[in-house]
Amino acid sequence: MEEGARARELDVAVRVVQMACSLCQRVQSGLVGRNREQIKVKEDDSPVTVADWGVQAVVSLLLSECFGGENVSILAEEDAHTLSRKDATTLLESVISTVNECLSEAPKYGLKCPPKHLGAQDILDAINSCNSSGGSKGRFWVLDPVDGTLGFVRGDQYAVALALIEDGEVILGVLGCPNYPMKKEWLNYHQRYYRLMTTLSPPSGSWHKGCVMYACKGSGEAWMQPLVHDFGEYDQQSSARMIRVSSISDPAFATFCEPVEKANSSHSFTAGLAHNVGLRKQPLRVHSMVKYAAIARGDAEIFMKFARAGYKEKIWDHAAGLVIIQEAGGVVTDAGGHPLDFSKGIYLEGLNRGIIACSGPLLHEKIINAVDASWDSSNL
C-alpha cells in the first residue's frame, strides 16, 4: 500500500480514538459511584458498560464513513445481544444518546459523521457489524472499545485500543489512555488520588488529562499526543512528541508491570521470576493495555503475563500495544521468544506459556531464560 494511504489510515484512526476517549470520559464521570445500572455482567463474569457499546458503535460508524462502508472489516470484543433484550430498553437508550452526542462532535475532530440522528436499529447494526473473524489473509481492524473495563468502572486506568492487521501482521496501532498521568509515580495510586493531587497542585498545559499513542509498523517511530477535544485548535507538530522505551538494562533498576487481577495472571510466578532475575522494585499493577503504554513511553521496562491453564489471549488485548512498543524500540514475544501470531482469528493461538514485553533485548533475554529455568516447577 502507498505510504500516503497508510498515513491517512493512521491519521483517521488517531482522530477516531480521540473521539472514543472523549465518550469514555463522559460516561466514566457519570458512572463512578452513581449510575450503576449502566454496568452489565457478561457470561464470562466480566463487566460491560455503555462506554463499551458506545465506543464500538462510534468506531464502526466513523471508519465506515471514512473508508467506504462495506469495505471496512472490523473484529471487536462486544456484540449487541444484551442491548437487544426487552429488559434492556433503558440501557439501549443510554447507548443511543451517548453515541449521537459523540458523533455530533465529529467535525471538531476533522471527521465525517452520519448525516442523520441514529436510532436503535442503526446503533445495534453498527455494533454487530464488527463481526470479522480475522485470519491470515486480507485487512481488518481490531478494536477493544474499553480495554480494562474493571478499571474503567472503578474510576481507574483503562484504554481504547485500535489496530489494523494486514495478512496476519499488525501494521498500525493506536492506544488511547484517558487517565494516564504524565508522572509515572502516580500510576501506583488509584485514579481518585491522582484527581485529588491535580486539584491541589494543577499541572501546567493539557498533558495531565491523558494521551493517545500511535505507531506504524516499520517506521521506527512511536508518537504520543494529548487528548484533544477540537482538532481545529490543535497543532500536531508542536503538541505530539516522539516516545522511546527506557534505556535501563539492569534488572535491579527496572520496573515490571503485570495485570491487576489474579484471575488473569499468576502473581506468584511473576514474583518468583522477578526475584530470580534480580528485579528489586515492587510490581506496577495496572489495568488494561496501559501497561504497554508505560513501556513504550519509558515509564516501565518489563511486562509479564502468564495466564492460568485454559485461558486464551485475545488479539484485541495486545495488537495496538505490540506495534507501539516495537516501533518505540522495545521487544514483544511469547515466553518462548517467538513473535505473537495474529493470523489465527480471535485468539493468539500457539502461545508459548505467556507474553513478555521488554524495553530492550538484554532484559528480554534475561526474562526468557528465567522462564525456562522456572517453568517446570510452577503450577501453571
**Catalytic residue positions, numbered:** 52, 149
Closest CA to 259 of 373, 156, 345: 156
Does 250 belong to an annotated binding site? no
Residue 146 neighbours by CB under 8 Å, 6+ apart: 24, 49, 51, 52, 55, 152, 158, 159, 160
Does 77 belong to an annotated binding site? yes
Does 105 belong to an annotated binding site? no
What is the per-residue DSSP string for 29-53? HHHTTT-GGGEEE-TTS-EEEHHHH
Q: How far is CA 91 from the centre of its chain?
A: 24
Report the alpha-carbon distance of residue 263 to residue 139 in Å, rounded.
33
Report the alpha-carbon distance of residue 62 to residue 164 in Å, rounded.
15
Asked if 285 and 329 count as a contact pair (C-beta separation under 8 A), the reply is no
Does 233 belong to an annotated binding site? no
Burial (CB < 10 A; 0-12, 13-18, 19+), residue 202, is exposed
Asked if 97 and 338 count as a contact pair (C-beta separation under 8 A), the reply is no
What's the grid cell of residue 308?
492460568
Residue 228 — φ and ψ, nearest 5°?
Answer: -125, 135
DSSP alpha helices (H): ranges in the chain?
Answer: 3-31, 50-67, 89-103, 120-128, 149-153, 191-200, 236-239, 267-277, 290-296, 319-327, 361-374
State the Cα torsion 108-109-113-119 to the nearest 10°.
Answer: -80
**Bind-site residues for Mg(2+):** 77, 144, 147, 317
